[in-house]
Amino acid sequence: MSLVSLLIQEDDRLADSSRSPRVAKFSSATAAEQVGLVAATIYRQISDLPAEAQRLRTAATNLNVDGALSNIPEVRSRMFRIADYYEVLACLTEHRYEAYLRKHAQEEQV
């Protein structure tokens, strides 16, 4: 199973576990309240991106250290590869945050 598949499954699992209260709250709100809820959710997700990138980098570092300590070459190489994927995810997370900030800054100028 690929890393992307695992991430999608985890995202789906998290969405399923929190869907019921969110849907009930969203469906009982007026249109203006719904827009506010969506904006608050997006802001909360975006504001967590720098911390998420740091968590991914920490996980990558831990995997690199554990891989270096492994005596089994196959385990070592897989751990290094997974650590590289975590680094890629951290970079993508930072780029997503920077793109949001640029877009938000452009919208404020208009």
Q: How sure is the predictor about 26, in pLDDT bands with cuts at 50, 70 and 90?
A: low
Question: Which residues of 4-109 form beta strands (DSSP E)?
Answer: none
Mean pLDDT estimate for the chain: 81
Q: What angle do CA 82, 44, 20 make, to 5 degrees?
A: 90
The owner of tokens 């009982």 is 28
Q: Exposed (0-12), middle (13-18) or buried (19+): which is 23, by Cβ within 10 Å?
A: exposed
36 vs 11: CA distance, rounded Å: 23
Lowest mean pLDDT among 26-30, 60-64, 106-110: 26-30
Higher pLDDT, 19 or 108: 108
Tens of pLDDT, residues 40-71: 787 788 889 999 999 999 999 999 999 999 99
Q: Residue ranges of the domains in the chain?
A: 48-109
Tokens (6 digits) for 75: 């385990």
Compute the average pLDDT of residues 74-101. 94
Q: Compute the average pLDDT of residues 11-38.
A: 62
CA distance 88 to 100: 18
102, two tokens? 């640029």
> Averaged over 18-47, what is the pLDDT?
69
* Claim: this prediction has a pTM higher than 0.75: no
For residues 74 and 95, give the distance between their C-alpha atoms in angstroms, rounded to a whole number: 32
